Structure 1
Amino acid sequence: MNHAAPDAFTSLYPELDAGALTAFAAALESGDLTGLPPARAAGAQAVRAAAVFTRGKVTGACGDLLDAALWRHTGPGPRPAVVMPSPWTDLGWTAYVVQAAAFAARGYDVLAYTARGLGRSEGQADFAGPLDVADGRRALDHLLERTAGPVTRIGFLGVSYGSGIGQLVAAHDPRVDAVAALSTWGDLGEVLRENSTRRAAAVQALLTTAGRAHLTPETERALENVLANRDTEGSLRWAQQRSPFTHVKELNRRRVPVFFSHAWHETLFPANQTLRLFDELTGPKRLDLSIGDHGGPEATGLLGLPNRIWTDAHRWFDHHLRGAANGIDAEGQVLSEVMWTRALEPAPTWPSLTRHVRRLHLTGHGELAEEPEAGWTAGVLCGVDTPAAVADAIVASGYAEMAGRPKTYPAGAIDPTVTAAWAAAPAEDTIRVRGIPRLRVTYRAANSGSTFVAYLLDLAPDGSARLITHAPFSDLDAPPDSLISADIDLQATAYDIPRGHRTLLVATARDPFYGDANLPRATLAFTSPEPTPSYVELPLG
């Protein structure tokens, strides 16, 4: 089994201060502000003056009691409401306590609850399955039964796990008027397997970071089967039911407004599968894309610090639930943070980020060239670790990126004896890569079953390189010693390659983030047949 060791994962939210969040919740309940920082104490006082905070239990599906907290206004006037299913963490609803209180202070009735099987909630974690959808609807019932006045419009907001639940509840419950889904997924099958390649480290992280969670047998079996490389079809059937993409027609039928946030170098839920859902949505929609990894871009907002993702989530609900003319509907569908300038670029639609496409051909001299070249072979040795890995660790590498310390591949790290590499000429001006790069390549595999990972890198004049994007590919069916054509999308990106730097494409047969189908010491022979030349396409802004 080729996946990262379980010890590498402890939490998907390493920056969250559980003690501070718990203390804030206690202050909301008791009114005792002792020990809180001045700003946090003032916030608690303001919320207590506006709404009544209570802890309680929501009776979910099968009678399971779900740990919850309610912010309720006592006046009889009509109000919007927000329901917040928890992330995949033992913290449960407490992860939302600051942001839920902020919504309450702005006039919303709010219910935050811990998803089944997590934290102090009963039941077994269904990973956004039918039980979780039923729980979300029961949580909404619970909120509506306890409001003092009529509820005008309703939103579901979640981070990570809660974001998938929120989308699925909105697809099944016509009472939901808007969704905010942060660090979310669209197609869970692609989270498990990307281009037929097992995303082993991501699945291992989901299992390990569940902590003391109780998983349904079906969920545990589906995730463990990915790691053990068995019953692929069963795991994909399990994932399909839990994919908002499967239910996009229901969301579109009511034109539910959906706000997404995502990180470019997301290692848990890769961006393209969420973008595919985003493209299919026909109602009002917005996508904020940021430097970092899963949960990182919105983490500071969970702690109550200034955060543009949470600012936009509030503006999204203010507009679609309260009718506020705050301009968010006129700002375009996409806002992307560019690596590594950190410039924020709005765009009217996702496709509009790409103005034109530049095709660079793979050649036998290790170059990315304007013209194709046939008849060459470049070998890649299987079963050997190389420095060309996606990241050093799930989630943690993304926090380093946000701090301005992206992973650097040192000069000479790309070993030509075990990898294949192709470099373009130095850029005469900044190359603005915007969108989804695409790779077409042909290779010969000596054995049935093969895997490679392609990395697009920014190679500096000093020989160091930084990751722009990547994607894995596996062929599981071709007979031995056959030519295999791979046409794959690399993960979406917004990256500026500076003047004088080179675009570098690297192919390896092994990456600890993925399960591979190769036999140890086998060789993959990359080539470029004349009828179907090998190339990479760069989407340029």
Structure 2
Amino acid sequence: MTIRIATPHPPWKTLVLTAVLALLALLAAPGAASAAHAPKESTPVYSYAHAIRETVWVDTGLDGDGNGHPDRVAADIIRPSEPAKQGRKIPVIMDASPYYSCCGRGNESQKKTYDAQGRPVQFPLFYDNYFVPRGYATVLVDLAGTNRSDGCVDVGGRSDVQSAKAVVDWLNGRARGYTARSGGRAVTADWSNGNTGMIGKSWDATIANGVAATGVSGLKTIVPISGISSWYDYYFQQGAPLYDSGPDGLASAVESPAAHKNCTAVQQKLVKGAPRNGDWTDLWTERDYVQGADKVRASVFLVHGMQDLNVRTKHFGQWWDALARHGVQRKIWLSQTGHVDPFDYRRADWVRTLHQWFDHYLMGYANGIDRAPMADIERAPDAWATDARWPAAGTAAVTLHPRNGTTAGVGALGTRPTPAGQTAAFTDDPKLGEADWAGAIDRAAPAKAGFTTGPLTAPLRLSGAGTVTVTATPSTTSAHLSAVLVDLGPDTIRNYGGDGEGIVTGTTTSCWGAGTTGDTGCFKDTAADTRKVGFTVFSRGWADLGHATDPHHGHPLTPGKPYTLTVQLAASDHIVPAGHRLALIVAGTDKDLIDPPASRPTLTLDLPRTTARLPLTGGAPALARATAGSPTAGHPARPADGIAPPASLSRLP
């Protein structure tokens, strides 16, 4: 449309012109135009070089360090200058993290940098480079007790969550912000429209989960990448200790010098509230975000590596299920990697999809991302499939039974109930783990009880989380259990046990958005790190048998007495191909993944009272088709190679 303006012109023409211009402005606004002419995405029309760079210290309303003054957290901001001049307010992409000065973010461990006046220069990752020119503000928040923020690190507790929630409140006019860490003048976010999306990996993702679980108004979406959903499940699973330290160790690793000096009382609470016996305490209740899923107002784009042995996949599974029960709008990506950001394994698709997600939920563009398939799942390195929903449609829990096979010590797995009186025994050996057990699946081995189907005659898909119920009789007063599912057969998979947990970082770079000398927006390229294997462990679960009678409190076992316990298997999505076998292994200490018990028990399984409930797509008929006419035992012993967990897992999520 061309508007011709004649000058001079009578007043009535001025009124008409004003009305026309107002109409055009309305039509240009996201969500207001007709479907045929509505914009579909934000475009890079604003200057990154001339963006406003500032820090606002937001009052959290807490006094974690007990100095008599409310804690202020530093919110570093980069936002385009043009919208404010035009009288337009903009949305915010926020990453709240404890890592900005101690450890860095991203594959290249980037840290925040500042100029001589303390203004932000480099923001880690690409969010500012890519989204600021498209009309977003990027806000990076130092959690309380880290970098330039006051207060204390409480590892997922009230202070951590309030650090970020207070900034969301400030962006919506409900909290106080200042131009300085102490004193300073009050400042408002008059440039923000209040729409906030939180993103981040690991601890950052965890805070996004925690803030969403408060139900805070203005938080429109979260994108948690490898996030914790319950801190108890980061340190324990069903009483079994996953790491040899507690949250106090994490706090020490990330806190600022001031927090290290002034937060000894908080450190003591972390020690006292997280005993290494695996018992549930009030500290864990405060840090369980799953219980707050009913308060979540934000949409959730969840991303996780199915071989993440740091923030293990139980976290995404239980969070996803809780969100589903409460009807939260959600999307999921599941990769074959370990603890890796999707920017480093599916870069172009990730940036494009994230752009669409934020455009829809923060700017209101009707781009269809909310109607796109719910799940993207990596089936082989760099080979992805989509599903309309997740877990996959038609998935149902099917019970499988272990039994003794025709070869001593080599068991079978099938649908027929196990004959009465059958048993299998193993002795805990902390020097061995899942790779050792799977490699010895076809021969008797004292440290595991293994059970396999015959070679499948059709592919079998497991989608979601299963359980293994065991009745075990211990020989000592303490015992831990591990249960793993294994795909027995050759494959090429991402090397999740390698240094890059499934990726390798190259020497070339590519740029994602605008840049400056201090923040180029360019990052090293990555590629898949692959490995040929003879088997793949794809789901795991661990438990302390002493918590069988009371999930929240452990008790000494009575040697010779049988105990029944259901081990929760971590969520996954895996297809066992035709010709491969599905295996269930039950054993004791899983080397490098759980800590051993005080004793070295022998456990005897009552096989008729031991079952696996697995989420099979297609349910029982699919299992029947895949196992029809297939023998269940008698396979020759042969060496097999798989990926073992890293000997030293990072204690920083």
**What is the RMSD computed on CA atoms of the aligned residues?**
3.5
Letter in 1 for 2:201: V
Instruction: Please tell me whether the aligned partners of residues 380 and 508 of structure 1 are also in contact (alpha carbons under 8 angstroms).
Output: yes
Query: What per-residue deviation string (whole Å, max 9, x for no partner) do you get for residues 228-277 of structure 1?
Result: 6248333xx212212222322322xxx32222212212223322333323
Q: Which residue in the other structure is 1:418 paired with?
A: 447
SS in 1 for 2:347: coil
| Structural mapping, 1:516-531, within 5 Å | 516-517=596-597, 519-520=599-600, 522-529=601-608
Letter in 2 for 1:112: L
**Percent identity of equivalent pairs:** 20
Tell me if 1:80 matches 2:127.
no
Query: What per-residue deviation string (whole Å, max 9, x for no partner) do you get for residues 127-186 of structure 1?
Result: 232223332244346656454645152222232222222333342532322222221122
Tell me if 1:243 matches 2:250.
no
Tell me if 1:229 matches 2:299.
no
Q: Which residue in the other structure is 1:331 paired with?
A: 372
Query: What per-residue deviation string (whole Å, max 9, x for no partner) do you get for residues 406-430 of structure 1?
Result: xx96567976122111121011122
SS in 1 for 2:362: helix
State the 1:471 CA deviation: 0.6
Cα separation, partners in 2 of 1:72 and 1:297, compared to 1, 3 Å: closer
| Structural mapping, 1:208-357, within 5 Å | 210-211=253-254, 214=259, 217=264, 220-221=267-268, 229-230=276-277, 232-234=279-281, 237-251=282-296, 255-281=297-323, 282-294=327-339, 296-300=340-344, 306-338=347-379, 342-348=383-389, 350-357=390-397
Identify, as 1 or 2, the structure richer in helix.
Answer: 1
Cα separation, partners in 2 of 1:197 and 1:308, compared to 1, 3 Å: farther
Tell me if 1:436 matches 2:465.
yes
Q: Which residue in the other structure is 1:162 paired with?
A: 204
What count of residue pairs does the alignment treat as equivalent?
469
Partners of 2:136 and 2:392 in 1: how far apart? 35
Tell me if 1:537 matches 2:611.
no
SS in 2 for 1:491: coil
Partners of 1:523 and 1:231 in 2: how far apart? 21
State the 1:77 CA deviation: 1.0
Q: Which residue in the other structure is 1:70 paired with?
A: 77
Tell me if 1:503 matches 2:582.
yes
Partners of 2:593 and 2:314 in 1: how far apart? 17
Match of 1:186 among 225, 229, 249: 229
Gap regions ≥5 residues in structure 2: 1-42, 64-69, 106-110, 113-122, 173-186, 406-410, 492-532, 547-554, 619-653
Partners of 2:447 and 2:538 in 1: how far apart? 21
Partners of 1:413 and 1:67 in 2: how far apart? 57
Gap regions ≥5 residues in structure 1: 1-42, 391-407
Cα separation, partners in 2 of 1:198 and 1:231, compared to 1, 3 Å: closer
Partners of 1:450 and 1:411 in 2: how far apart? 22
Query: What per-residue deviation string (whole Å, max 9, x for no partner) do you get for residues 460-507 of structure 1?
Result: 279932212111122213533111222233111111222222112222
Letter in 2 for 1:85: A
State the 1:330 CA deviation: 0.5
Cα separation, partners in 2 of 1:136 and 1:297, compared to 1, 3 Å: closer
State the 1:389 CA deviation: 5.3
Spell out structure 1 runs of 4+ moving beyond 4 A. 43-47, 55-61, 141-148, 201-206, 211-228, 408-415
State the 1:362 CA deviation: 0.6
Q: Which residue in the other structure is 2:4 paired with?
A: none
Q: Which residue in the other structure is 1:453 paired with?
A: 482
Instruction: Please tell me whether the aligned partners of residues 50 and 105 of structure 1 are also in contact (alpha carbons under 8 angstroms).
Output: no
Instruction: Please tell me whether the aligned partners of residues 203 and 226 of structure 1 are also in contact (alpha carbons under 8 angstroms).
Output: no
TM-score, scaled to structure 1: 0.76
Letter in 2 for 1:318: D
SS in 2 for 1:485: strand
Q: Which residue in the other structure is 1:99 paired with?
A: 127
Partners of 2:270 and 2:593 in 1: how far apart? 15
Instruction: Please tell me whether the aligned partners of residues 375 and 527 of structure 1 are also in contact (alpha carbons under 8 angstroms).
Output: yes
Report which of the two structures shows the higher radius of gyration computed on alpha carbons: 2
State the 1:57 CA deviation: 4.8
SS in 2 for 1:200: coil
Instruction: Please tell me whether the aligned partners of residues 339 and 496 of structure 1 are also in contact (alpha carbons under 8 angstroms).
Output: no
Instruction: Please tell me whether the aligned partners of residues 127 and 219 of structure 1 are also in contact (alpha carbons under 8 angstroms).
Output: no
Q: Which residue in the other structure is 1:363 paired with?
A: 403
SS in 2 for 1:364: strand
Cα separation, partners in 2 of 1:341 and 1:52, compared to 1, 3 Å: closer
State the 1:368 CA deviation: 1.0
Letter in 1 for 2:589: R
SS in 2 for 1:185: coil
Q: Which residue in the other structure is 1:39 paired with?
A: none
Query: What per-residue deviation string (whole Å, max 9, x for no partner) do you get for residues 426-465 of structure 1?
Result: 1112222222233222211123332111111112279932
Instruction: Please tell me whether the aligned partners of residues 202 and 267 of structure 1 are also in contact (alpha carbons under 8 angstroms).
Output: no
Cα separation, partners in 2 of 1:174 and 1:358, compared to 1, 3 Å: closer
SS in 2 for 1:453: strand
